[in-house]
Structure 1
Amino acid sequence: MLKNIVLLSILMLSSCSTDRKVSDKVSIMLDVPVSPIKTYFKEHFDFESFIAIETTDSFLVSDIKKIVRSDDNILLLSGNRSVFLIDAHSGKLKVCIDKCGNGPGESKRIIDIAFNEELGQILLYNDFYKLLVFDLKGDFLSEVKVGEMYENVTCRRGEVLFYNKLNGYSCYPYMLKIYNLKNKTWRTVGDDIKIDFPIRSRGLQMVNSKRVWFNAPLDYKLYCFEDDTPAAHYRLDISMAKLSDDLIKKSISDPQTFFNEVSMGKIVYSLNSLRETENFLIFHSNQT
């Protein structure tokens, strides 16, 4: 029996190693409104389309972690085990990738997904520190050993960007590791500054919008990757950003107290899921 779930798609966006630092050019200060504007999206954005996805007993989508659209295709990461390729016009399933295991093309947990538009490929990054490459028919093509655990990946102009290397309670949020799919070469850009912060945001710290945007916990700058260099493009003046040095230390030594003080004080400590349109930047924070 067929069931329909509706996917709401909002169009808000249309082995060598080289060390390159984060650009130190002056960033622009942006004022963030103190009070929420409840009618903001209704006044500034239109829904592009509603896509009804056909589901059957053997094809059930739940807990969607990520949606990536490329021309006529939509790529869904459901939970941390299944990837679905959907026809963007009919909503019908084209491919399902959900091989569980540690063999070729298999994963126990899928961390992130991306499209390689230049070569028409599906990219899966898994918990075996591997980048798996599939064609649009779902056939496994190859794998790349990454060797380290990252939180996010994206693909841009034939290159895969890996962001925010994990190391226990630490992360390296100002560094991008980049793999060229055609040349099969690696390079690294940015600063190897380590931040000790055990709390991860629920949103995406790296987003491929008109540009690749990323940001770090406890930092109120918005960074983008352009001209092969990470740059701190904007700084945000947020009235609710009141993190004391003592509170930052508690995020490691006493996370429960940190959460309590952040909740009671309505403090913003993290930004995520940045998107850009012709006239606007839209992002989430840890505050609702």
Structure 2
Amino acid sequence: MKKLTIFFLIVPFLWNVFSCSSKNQLEVESDRLYIDLEVEDSLRWEDLFEKVEVIPLEFTSESMLTDVDKILPQDDHFLIFDQKAQVLYKFDLKGKYISKLDKSGEGPDEYQLIYDVSINPYTGNIELLSGYGSFFIYDKSFEWVETFDFPEMISASKFDYFSEDVIILYSQFDREYTLRLYSRSEEKHLNKMNQPTKSVFENNNSVTISMLNNPLINTPDGLFFCIPFYNSVYRIGLDGLEFDYQWDFGKYVVDEGGIKKDDPEEKIMEQGRKIIESFSSLLNLYENEKFILVQYYLKGKLGTILYHKESQKYKILYDYVPDYSLVLLSDGIVGPTNSMRLQTIDKLLKNSNSGFAIEDKVNGAEESNPFLLKYTFANDYN
């Protein structure tokens, strides 16, 4: 099965930034949020961030990463999940390698085919989701705690925490149920749900164009589920999904071009490429108490919407930011980049007030790990 995946990210900053312009007042009509994508604001990196720090992840015989698929801050460390290697690495805040969870296998304390990993906010344990529908739990020291299987699971892609007891499971390829709510204490699914609508690109048997890295949105107000292409957001409850709101981008809407779900794969993929070149739908969502962070591609450029919830004002930026595995921190953001993308990183650092010379880290090195980029918000925005 071919899969075309595009990631989108968003960056928050505080109200001072938004107060400098009134033309970006969000139009709200009932349950629709109207965004004018023609608006482009010329904000400099140094206007937003105090510094941009490059954190080279130490390259050793024990820590040779293939990629950074997820970053999990825990205590004074970064946990880095490398899905291809099926390893969870631990680095300190300066990028020094500490240890790793590397127990792929079939033993009682081992795991198989991990798709997603997270830190339980209630226990601090590290929890891993297998695509086979198994759940593996380890403590902070990477010692095995428990393993269990979800009943009647065909596949599993992502998970999050509905409550201390209830896990929300998302499956991209299960044709019967998209979401399941599972109770640890009762050891059963409390509810099984399917998303209300699907695009042709998601319904086709031979090809899936996945626009969202993770459609589960964990917010201070609860858990939400975003449907790509239609850009609709639903609240997740024990009784099911309830429509909450929809992003409306005016003329920049997804046109399926007359594609039908039983059309040839080549025809669907070609129309998908056209969508990506014009407007691809939402790519990802992050939300905290003050902001909604949204990303998309428009005419080949990565766009970032910074929406202030209370004022209903927003900014749109088109510039380089880490384009996957983003983490939102209290004082900034962290995202990965690859050492091979030197020109992109160099451009970013020159447009910021960073004095870091990335060439010093890679010149003469035959191999190296990806870097982490940490953006610290300027004092005015903290």
Task: Report the TM-score range of the alignment, normalised by the length of the smaller protein.
Answer: 0.7 to 0.9
Q: How has the CA–CA distance of structure 1 residues 100 and 90 changed in structure 2, closer, same or farther, with 3 Å as cutoff?
A: same
Q: How has the CA–CA distance of structure 1 residues 273 and 92 changed in structure 2, closer, same or farther, with 3 Å as cutoff?
A: same
1:250-273 Cα offsets, whole Å, 9 max, x none, are 586732332243245x132x4232
- Secondary structure at the counterpart of residue 261 of structure 1: helix
- Secondary structure at the counterpart of residue 33 of structure 2: strand
CA positional deviation for 1:121:
0.8
- Secondary structure at the counterpart of residue 258 of structure 1: helix
1:206 matched to which residue of 2?
216
Q: How has the CA–CA distance of structure 1 residues 217 and 11 changed in structure 2, closer, same or farther, with 3 Å as cutoff?
A: closer
Given candidates 167, 173, 180, the residue that maps to 1:166 is 173
- Secondary structure at the counterpart of residue 271 of structure 2: helix
CA positional deviation for 1:97:
1.6
Q: How has the CA–CA distance of structure 1 residues 84 and 110 changed in structure 2, closer, same or farther, with 3 Å as cutoff?
A: same
Q: 1:199, 1:251 within 8 Å by CA — same for their partners in 2?
A: no
CA distance in 2, matches of 1:12, 1:226: 27
Q: 1:214, 1:274 within 8 Å by CA — same for their partners in 2?
A: no
Q: How has the CA–CA distance of structure 1 residues 122 and 12 changed in structure 2, closer, same or farther, with 3 Å as cutoff?
A: farther
TM-score normalized with structure 1 length: 0.72
1:241 matched to which residue of 2?
253
Q: 1:164, 1:171 within 8 Å by CA — same for their partners in 2?
A: no
In structure 1, the gaps of 5 or more residues are 1-9, 14-25
Given candidates 267, 280, 287, the residue that maps to 1:276 is 287
1:262 matched to which residue of 2?
275
What letter corresponds to residue 210 of structure 2 in structure 1? R
CA positional deviation for 1:138:
0.9
1:177 matched to which residue of 2?
180
CA positional deviation for 1:119:
1.7
Q: 2:131, 2:157 within 8 Å by CA — same for their partners in 1?
A: no
Relative contact order, CA 8 A, sep 6+: which one is greater?
Answer: 2
Q: 1:206, 1:272 within 8 Å by CA — same for their partners in 2?
A: no
Q: How has the CA–CA distance of structure 1 residues 251 and 129 changed in structure 2, closer, same or farther, with 3 Å as cutoff?
A: farther
Q: How has the CA–CA distance of structure 1 residues 35 and 194 changed in structure 2, closer, same or farther, with 3 Å as cutoff?
A: closer
CA distance in 1, matches of 2:172, 2:104: 24
Max Rg structure: 2
The percentage of counterpart residues that share the same residue type is 18
TM-score normalized with structure 2 length: 0.57
Q: 2:279, 2:296 within 8 Å by CA — same for their partners in 1?
A: no
1:224-273 Cα offsets, whole Å, 9 max, x none, are 43687544332111132142461364586732332243245x132x4232
Residues 221-232 of structure 1: pairs in structure 2 closer than 5 A: 221-225=232-236, 230-232=241-243
CA distance in 2, matches of 1:162, 1:228: 15
In structure 2, the gaps of 5 or more residues are 1-9, 14-29, 303-382
Residues 1-288 of structure 1: pairs in structure 2 closer than 5 A: 12=12, 27-37=31-41, 39=43, 43=47, 51=55, 53-80=57-84, 81-87=86-92, 89=93, 91-146=95-150, 147-158=153-164, 159-167=166-174, 170=175, 172-173=177-178, 176-188=179-191, 190-191=193-194, 193=196, 195=198, 196-197=203-204, 198-201=208-211, 203-210=213-220, 211-225=222-236, 230-238=241-249, 239-244=251-256, 246-247=258-259, 249=261, 254-264=267-277, 266-268=278-280, 270-285=281-296, 287=298, 288=302
CA distance in 1, matches of 2:218, 2:53: 20
Q: How has the CA–CA distance of structure 1 residues 156 and 74 changed in structure 2, closer, same or farther, with 3 Å as cutoff?
A: farther
CA distance in 1, matches of 2:228, 2:75: 33
Aligned alpha-carbon RMSD (Å): 3.5
- Secondary structure at the counterpart of residue 286 of structure 2: strand
